Structure 1
């Protein structure tokens, strides 16, 4: 991230000094500063380059960096271990949620450095981080838990792994124990169902699942396990028609199973139920 995004073309030095002097004397509107907390990482980095006063406002407020979400290109393709560490340092120890999606340059050592300066971190997502290893992740989380206990912090409570990690049963047990689920072999507790949508699970730490991977009731493999939104299936119980997408074929649009349902296979080898196909046809006719 040596080249940070800019909100506009660089102003001449004289103009920038004039803006800084004007801002320091009158100050920015309170509503503008309040709105900064709703901006993402990319936008906050852009605001930093508008003028000196806004740069000071962004850099001096550590709560703006309490949740760091790197949710895909172009930022995920450019962020390195050093850049991630600089972002975490902006939180000044108040970082609570870190979501790294498809950050291919982040390594185990880079994540370790961020954990060392983020004692309040509780939610972590590393989906698509190809240079991370499951062994290195477990080692870093164990070290993070040990340092947190000595400082009075609770440690990681939610973890998103995505599809790239191949977990062995012993890895799964270690992670469950680290996340506060010491009952090995029990299914994770979730207050809301997980539905299949184009094979993509929720990547951000926005639900109450301790971990996104669990044991499939059908094949007993560690995978994403989905519930069925079909009313006929849900009427038979919460555990009925619950399995990974390899064991139960599901509609890529609504997530329902294909039992007793007409469906079609798309060019991308996805499946769409008849109900979703008819809804798409009606939308095209209205357009």
Structure 2
């Protein structure tokens, strides 16, 4: 902000609208501390509606609670992979938000260490007090693991569940292959899946390796562009790792670029 013109800086600082949805993701996520978060959130003047901290490993329970205490209108609280947060801190934050307003309807906590089944049940009851009276939720697929935070509608108010196979609290996925039904429902530790489309590897489809070392089904492997050296594709999530060649429309993977070009 210090490098933009004064008129633009003043306009943004005085207008709370741009600050009502605070999303911190790469590459700033590793730099944000409790104090920086507090100063940034204060620009919303207590009217923050969305707080999305993606893999912000330096944010602690104290920092989160300080922001929540001054912004009771938060309706979306997304803190996936914020590994310095504890289940107890998240429960405290959610309790405060539910006591001060009934708008909190979306909680993302995948990657928070040590969440037990009882703690998940507490969060589910806080977010959905009438959960038993609601219809069955929609299925969630592995290839929807990284949805656009603010624009994708979802019926899942909490992103984690109890895996029916390992009984651990993790993200639980359904298989998009209709013939599987609920047989292949489980976390990605219990049920290996295609990184691209999310189908399970149950012996029906061939498993292919991507340049990013993820696994792909044969159908997805055939559709994706390949490295000019090793003939391996990147999945869509890691396509940014492609190394473009001068004077060529193709690319090489990071490994081949290191081994054969540098």
TM-score (norm 2): 0.76
TM-superposed deviation, 1:72: 1.9
Instruction: State the distance in 2 between where 1:214 and 1:268 align.
Output: 28
TM-superposed deviation, 1:137: 1.6
TM-superposed deviation, 1:70: 0.2
Change (3 A) 1:59 1:116: same
Q: Is the 8 A contact 1:176 1:182 kept in 2?
A: no
Q: Is the 8 A contact 1:162 1:203 kept in 2?
A: no
Q: Is the 8 A contact 1:188 1:210 kept in 2?
A: no
Q: In the TM superposition, what are the counterparts of 1:77-116 in structure 2 within 5 Å?
A: 77-116=30-69
TM-superposed deviation, 1:98: 0.7
Instruction: State the distance in 2 between where 1:56 and 1:251 align.
Output: 48
TM-superposed deviation, 1:247: 2.5
Q: Is the 8 A contact 1:101 1:203 kept in 2?
A: no
Q: Counterpart of 1:65? A: 19
Q: Counterpart of 1:217? A: 164
Counterpart check, 1:249 vs 2:192: yes
RMSD (CA atoms): 2.9
5+ residue gaps, structure 1: 1-45
SS for the counterpart of 1:68 is strand
Q: Counterpart of 2:95? A: 142
Q: Counterpart of 1:131? A: 84
Q: Is the 8 A contact 2:98 2:127 kept in 1?
A: no
Q: Which has the larger radius of gyration?
A: 1
Change (3 A) 1:283 1:230: farther
TM-superposed deviation, 1:267: 7.1
Instruction: State the distance in 2 between where 1:189 and 1:210 align.
Output: 13
Q: Counterpart of 2:149? A: 204
Paired residue total = 228
Q: Counterpart of 2:123? A: 175
TM-superposed deviation, 1:269: 5.3
5+ residue gaps, structure 2: 232-248, 251-262
Instruction: State the distance in 1 between where 2:123 and 2:55 align.
Output: 21
Q: Which of 139, 151, 154 is the matching residue for 2:102?
A: 154
Q: Counterpart of 1:4? A: none
